[in-house]
Amino acid sequence: MKNQLKSYVVIALLSSGVTLGAYQLLNLGNQSSFSDSPSAFTSNVSNVVAAGSPGEFTYAAEKTTPAVVHIKTKMEQRQRQFSSPFDDLFGGFGDPFGGGGGRRQAPQQAEASGSGVIISADGYIVTNNHVVAEATEISVMLNDKREFKAKVISTDPSSDLAVIQIKANDLPFLTFGDSDALKVGEWVLAVGNPFNLESTVTAGIVSAKGRQNIIDRDDDKAANPLESFIQTDAAVNPGNSGGALVNLKGELIGINTAIYSRTGQFAGYSFAVPVSIVKKVSADLIKYGNVQRGFLGVSIMEVNSKLADEKDLKVTTGVYVGGFSENSAAKTAGIKINDVITKIDGIETKTSAKLMEIVGRKRPGETLNVTVNRDGQNKEFTVTLKNKDGNTAILKGETGESYKSEFLGAKFGALSSSDKEKFNVNAGVKVTEVLPDGRLEMYGLSKGSIITKINDKAVNNPKEAAELLEARKGRTKLEGIDVDGSRFIYVL
């Protein structure tokens, strides 16, 4: 996996060997693409009294383990077999006169594993993006030993979350708890499958909330990372990624994502994405195919004594507004530079992480009540959030349009928003299947690669790619990005 954690923090890897109020999931069963099946979005057990006092974990463990699954993935790794003499000259892009370097790399199958949490009776499962992002095949083993093939509904690299689905009914599922109400020092359980061990339960306490800058996003491939982690001392190890963090009522309060370690194994601290983010992201991925992010459109920094003195601020805590983006929602609402945001929807915003977490629960077109301190006076503004394009429209994910090319020996489809973020491209098509003995297999191009140009013309969707391939004469030039991030040019 490519995500790495800062200061020796290592993601709780699947391998066992400013997106910126309170998001209310009212009637979400009608808003999402869930069927009438019971789900975490339509069920609530907050009024259930947990059996036992603090330190008594059996109730939560018995309730949680049936809804936590073991995820096994297969992915392609590539090893260089032989290269063209032109490789060094052209930076590994292959022979521009028709070779492409021959069989530059041969796909090798690798296997890995992680965990996931069932959130609906009809088979929706939330896990980490890094568990399934590179997978060519995903299988899910339930607590009762049944095994199913799974498909990826959609992924969100920014929050490191993904939703997959299996074809099953009447499954046990977890209900969403309230991560806002979670207190430092509160007992929690981590449930997952570390080291391929099934249904492992560990206990700890909440060590901190709102942790930021945990994951080092290489090459800015996860744009606008949304981080406000719950830190616990519950033991989490490789294979726990995507597993459940629950309270003593057995409610889901987070998805275990990362650990702090110098060795790759648990060393005292683990980090989970709070359920306040999980339920928003998973609902959007299911309904829209991508995450609907509302933007305040502000440049922010946390207030401290030095900044307060420098800017002559009248408060010493909050989030300082240092500037605005184009078409800023905050600026439109009347917020000014040098304002200090102290509350959003009545919730204190003492840190940037908290502000981003709260706003991250909202969609474009939804409103927030923002309280700012301006020259010692508190003022309130109603802000209507905008999307990344500066309006309030819902941005749907790509459709499932696909195309099979006998010439290429492959199938390709539209790019998702997460593909565009990951590969830092605005357009192109994704190779969804490489057929045996086809041209792309011969050249070593893998499933998941991106084709950006055909015969020097940019491709925006599968239909355009199909038309360009049908109109080809003579040799065909492909340009794009391989699954490992390297760029290629092949002449077929």
Q: Is 241 a catalytic residue?
A: yes
b/e sequence 139-149, b meaning 16+ C-beta within 10 Å: bbbbbeeeebe
Cα 406 to its chain centre, rounded Å, is: 34
**What's the rounded Cα separation, in Å, for the pair 453 and 440?**
15
Burial status of residue 179 (CB atoms within 10 A of its CB: 0-12, 13-18, 19 or more): buried
Helix (H) or strand (E) holding 450: strand 450-454
Q: What is the DSSP letter of 85?
A: T
> Which alpha helices (DSSP H) does 374-461 contain, by range?
417-423, 439-442
Enumerate helices (H) and strands (E) in the chain, giving the number of each: 11, 28
Phi/psi for 359 (5° steps) reads -70, -30
How far is the CA of 120 from the CAs of 65, 161, 178, 196, in angstroms? Answer: 15, 16, 18, 24
Q: Which two tokens stand for residue 265?
A: 């194994």
**Which runs of E-coded beta strand occur in 97-235?**
105-118, 124-127, 137-141, 147-156, 161-166, 187-192, 200-211, 215-216, 229-232
Give 10's strand partners.
Answer: 259
The H or E element that residue 357 is part of is helix 352-359
Cite the DSSP H helix spans in 10-150: 28-31, 58-64, 86-89, 129-132
d(CA 451, CA 151) in angstroms, rounded, equals: 23
* Residue 162 near residue 156 (C-beta atoms within 8 A): yes
The single residue of 84, 207, 241, 276 carrying the catalytic annotation is 241
- The single residue listed with the structure tokens 């207190």 is 183
Q: Can you name the residues that pair with 298 across neighbouring β-strands?
A: 324
> What are the helix (H) ranges across 370-486?
417-423, 439-442, 462-470
The catalytic residue among 122, 156, 160, 482 is 160
* Both tokens assigned to 476: 């065909």
Q: How many residues are there in the chain? A: 492
Q: Nearest CA to 429 among 390, 455, 403, 391?
A: 403
DSSP 219: G
Q: How far is the C-alpha of 426 from the C-alpha of 415, rounded, in Å?
A: 9
Which residues carry out catalysis? 130, 160, 241
